[in-house]
Amino acid sequence: MQDKLKLKHAFHSELFIADLRFLEQIFEKVENNTYNFIFIDSLNKLHIETESLRVLCKRYQGSAFITVSQSTKDGKLRGSQEIVHDCDVAIEVTQGIALTTKNRFLQTPREIKIFQK
């Protein structure tokens, strides 16, 4: 993630990056009502399942969560598909193309080209 931020010159004085490895560290290190957005890359690496994500969202109600979930070789999400049902927007990224697969606010699919030079 840091490499992408450097490549796109996306660092900002109000962008904070933490190298947290466990769900418990989020509760310990991230103060409530501090951030508008909390990015988690990835739910799988932090072993965050649906119920834990619900607890996070309830605890940090003032924050929007942007999460990354890994997929299997056949393109399905690793772990529970229930996370997709709970989210507002689901985006699948393949070879630099982001495609909305679920969007409660706009029609799907919508395609966005990302990571272009």
110 and 63 within one domain: no
Question: How many CA atoms are closer than 13 Å to the CA of 41, on its beta-carbon side?
Answer: 7
Domain span at 37: 17-86
71 and 40 within one domain: yes
Domain count across the chain: 2
In a domain, 9, yes or no: no
115 and 97 within one domain: yes
Whether the pLDDT of residue 30 is over 70: the answer is yes
State residue 116's pLDDT score.
63
Q: Are strands 37-41 and 64-68 parallel, antiparallel or unpaired?
A: parallel
State the average pLDDT for the chain: 88
Whether the pLDDT of residue 117 is over 80: the answer is no
User: What pTM was estimated for this model as a whole?
Assistant: 0.81
61-72: per-residue pLDDT in tens?
A: 999 999 999 888
80 and 23 within one domain: yes
